[in-house]
Copies of this chain bind each other. A is one copy, B any other.
Amino acid sequence: MSRLGVAILGATGMVGQIYVRMLSAHPWFEIKAVTGNSTVGKTLREAYRGKGHVPEKYADLEVLPSDPSKIDADLIFSCLPTKSSREVEPKFAAAGFPVVSDSSAHRYWPDVPLIIPEVNPEHLDLIDVQRKRRGWDGYIVTTPNCTTVGFALPLKPLVDDFGLKYVNIVTMQAISGAGYNGVPSMAILGNIIPYIDGEEPKVAEEPRKILGTLTNGEVKPLDVEIDATCMRVPTVVGHLEAVHVELGRDASVEEVMDSMAGFTGLPQKLELPTAPRRPIQVFVDDERPQPRIDAEAGDVPGMVVYTGRVRKGRRPGTVMFVTLSHNLIRGAAGSAILTAELLYALRRLR
């Protein structure tokens, strides 16, 4: 089987580096092109200079501009900044490319699927609505905000098994979530910033779409209220989140742990290459999960969401837990690659 050629838009940032690493030995996909902005014309090796390692295999790829006419690929991954992606991604979709994007630019468009592959693969049917409505040969599929994935995924089995009325979430987000230059060290060394610009509305809204129901070409959001407080903490990778939920009915700690730990989705059924055997793993040890130790663990490193500290709240039907996910892998590149694998398995890629 010959592998599909992929292009990565915005390949020289933090998330781009993860794509390149994850695709350096992928069974189905091979990088054919990478794009950037200030580094156009350099090789990937030069673009990463001083910041990390690039697999030899792709080190000499030249950084191209993000222009559909310059790119030859079967599939586009986009991790462009919001502004650029707003402009660039529709051009690629119009030019016939399937685009899987980490960006927030089109997540909230009603005809753009916002996908966690284990949670709402059926939302991919929006692609047909989108292509028809916009007259595109290609399409855009999006993955959620890095913070959203970490709790929307473990909420899925709870919604299914117990119902869900309310969520209060406090996040402790790693510096890599803001990009290489996003957080000055003076701001965060031995410190916490109790605010992340623009994050809380995303976190409060995205799970409603993801956990919603697709009927008649439209996603009806899940009827759940979400309060969020998003903080930046001095960890390198892994967003840790303290979640407090009110379920639809009273449930024991054991029921909740079993619900999460037993959960699998379509990617597991299809045995997709980047799908972990179990997408949610539940710690019983009080001291876990921990970002530095657990974020990149698991059978598919960085793709498992770890939860722990499952406890009942004082009020009936309320449950507390913490959840940890790798913000660059499960929260970005890994989710996009798994989504692309799903598209491939569902014969939605050429």
Q: A residues engaging B (CB < 8 A)?
A: 14, 49-53, 166, 168, 170, 172, 175-176, 179-195, 197, 204, 225-227, 229, 231, 233-236, 240, 242, 244, 285-294, 297, 308-309, 313-315, 318, 320, 322
Contact = CB atoms under 8 A, between A and B. Distances in A.
Given A226-B314, A287-B195, A309-B194, A189 B186 contact: no
A244 B227 contact: yes
A232 to B, nearest CB: 9
B287 A242 contact: no
Contacts of A53: 293-294, 297
A149 to B, nearest CB: 18
A179 to B, nearest CB: 8
A170 B241 CA distance: 10
Contacts of A197: 286
Given A49-B285, A233-B233, A195 B293 contact: no
Contacts of A315: 166, 225
Nearest to A179: B186
Nearest to A233: B233
A180 B195 CA distance: 18
B236 A292 contact: yes
Given A175-B186, A183-B185, A227-B318, 4 more contacts: A172-B192, A172-B233, A190-B292, A192-B291
Contacts of A240: 192, 194, 231
A195 B227 contact: no
A287 B184 contact: no
Contacts of A187: 180, 185
Contact of A185 (B189, B192, B226): B189
A75 to B, nearest CB: 28
A182 B186 CA distance: 8
B242 A170 contact: yes
A194 B287 contact: yes
17 contacts: A51-B293, A166-B314, A168-B313, A182-B186, A185-B234, A190-B234, A191-B293, A192-B233, A193-B287, A194-B240, A194-B289, A195-B286, A227-B244, A229-B242, A229-B322, A233-B233, A233-B234
A226 B315 CA distance: 9
Nearest to A52: B293
Contacts of A294: 53
Contacts of A49: 285
A289 B195 CA distance: 10
A147 B181 CA distance: 25
A190 B313 contact: no
A233 B238 CA distance: 14
Contacts of A314: 166, 204, 225-227
Contact of A309 (B186, B189, B195, B290): B195
Contacts of A318: 227
Contacts of A51: 293
A288 to B, nearest CB: 7
Contacts of A194: 240, 242, 286-290, 308-309, 322
Given A170-B170, A184-B185, A227 B313 contact: yes
Q: Which of A53, A183, A186, A227 has the most CB of B within 10 A?
A: A186
A182 B242 CA distance: 23
Contacts of A227: 244, 313-314, 318, 320
